[in-house]
Amino acid sequence: MNLYKQAADLIKKKSNIVAFTGAGISVESGIPDFRSSGGLWERFDPNEYAEYSAFLKWPEKFWTMHSELSEMVLTAEPNPAHLALATLESMGKLTTVITQNIDFLHQRAGSSRVLELHGTGETASCLSCEKQYDRVTVEKIRETAHVPRCTVCDGLIKPNVVLFSELPPVDVFEEARRALLKADLVIIIGSSLSVYPAAALPSVVSFANTPLIIINEEPTSMDNYANVVIQGKAGEIFPRIINALNENSNFN
Ligand code: APR
């Protein structure tokens, strides 16, 4: 039986699917991932541009990368892979999307329960007085200052994204771990599974004996646990599987 049919048959019987996504799911929306060739870390050294103590030392570097990335995020639209996950939720089959992404595309596609392991680019905080800002307000402040500072105390403003050597949101991680333990199927889409602790989360399937589907352009460390691995573009592969749920189409 071909891989698409195997994946569709697994999904057919499920009602508590949890998806785990990475930057690869947003590449077809025009947002580069991090580690593929041409990815973000080829152009910006994460130790200088996306690490917490480096942010405190050279905030202008982070904001230079942020300017380039936010251009792409603001013009990006959810692609068929994001939309297919929202469809699976509307069919009462998927309960949770756990994402490492900060691009808000799952929410814009219609997914209602999205656990953001690496925070969000939609809000920001002053690192001194903790005043909260929304993205639009920060962009307004940045019209006159490359490095935005707090309007109350002049402290450094930082988007609520998790930088390297920053503690990720423990409550979100715990909620994601519980969701994965209760899942009757896990689908991993577009992640190299190379950044911990996020990358450790999906391995709960191995001892919970949960069926696993992986859709990724390259092999991952979880492939040998998976029931189905389909290598290629998520925006092409995933919708084809979901369409198969609604009809008995033959896969060529
Ligand atoms: N369809 C499916 N998979 C894709 C596609 C696509 N169109 N394009 C790329 N991929 C795959 C790549 O082969 C790669 O394995 O998506 C994966 C993306 O891996 P990374 O770039 O490492 O992104 P991610 O796994 O999300 O990184 C995790 O690392 O730098 C941190 O905070 C950052 O959240 C990020 C974390």
Encode pLDDT of 121-144 as tens digits: 999 999 999 999 999 999 999 999
Dihedrals phi, psi of 165, to nearest 5 degrees: 65, 10
Is residue 67 in some structural domain?
no
What torsion, rounded to 10 degrees, do the Cα atoms 219, 225, 229, 235 define? -80
DSSP reduced 3-state for 247: coil
pLDDT at residue 207, rounded to an integer:
83
Nearest residue to 176 via CA among 24, 20, 11: 20
CA distance 82 to 107: 9
Q: Is the CB of 217 under 6 A from ligand 1?
A: yes
For the chain, the domain total comes to 1
Ligand 1 within 6 A of CB of 192: yes
In a domain, 49, yes or no: no
Is residue 47 domain-resident?
no
Q: State the closest ligand 1 atom to the C-alpha of 117, by its place in the atom list counted from 1.
A: 34
Residue 248 CA to ligand 1 centre (angstroms) = 32
Instruction: Evaluate whether 238 touches 84 at the Cβ level (below 8 Å).
Output: yes
Residue 20 is assigned to a structural domain of this protein: yes
**Ligand 1 site, residue 22, Cβ cutoff 6 A:** yes
Tell me, using a 6 A CB cutoff, whether residue 234 lines ligand 1: yes
Instruction: Please report the pLDDT score of residue 251 as a whole number.
Output: 46
Rounded-to-integer distance, Cα 82 and Cα 106, Å: 6
Side chain identity at 207, as an amino acid letter?
Answer: F
Q: Is residue 56 part of a domain?
A: no
* Chain mean pLDDT for the chain: 94
Structural domain harbouring 180: 1-31+78-118+168-252
Q: How confident is the model at residue 247 (pLDDT cuts 50, 70, 90)?
A: low
* Alpha-carbon torsion (179, 185, 186, 190), positive or negative: negative
Q: Residue 68 pLDDT more than 50?
A: yes
230 occurs within a structural domain: yes
| Confidence (pLDDT) at 1 | 63
pLDDT band at 248 (very low <50, low <70, confident <90, very high): low
Instruction: Please provide residue 99's backbone torsions phi and psi, each rounded to the nearest 5 degrees.
Output: -130, 150
Residue 12 lies in a domain: yes
**Domain CATH for 22:** 3.40.50.1220
Model confidence, pTM: 0.95
Return the minimum-mean-pLDDT range out of 92-96, 152-156, 188-192, 203-207.
Answer: 203-207
32-46, 61-75, 84-98, 194-208: the lowest-pLDDT one: 194-208
Whether 118 is a known active-site residue: answer yes
* Max CA pair span of the chain: 63
Residue with tokens 């989360």: 201
Choice from 191, 223, 230 to test ligand 1 binding pocket (greatest atom count within 8 A of CB): 191
| Position 150 pLDDT exceeds 80 | yes
Asked, for residue 159, whether it belongs to a domain, the answer is no
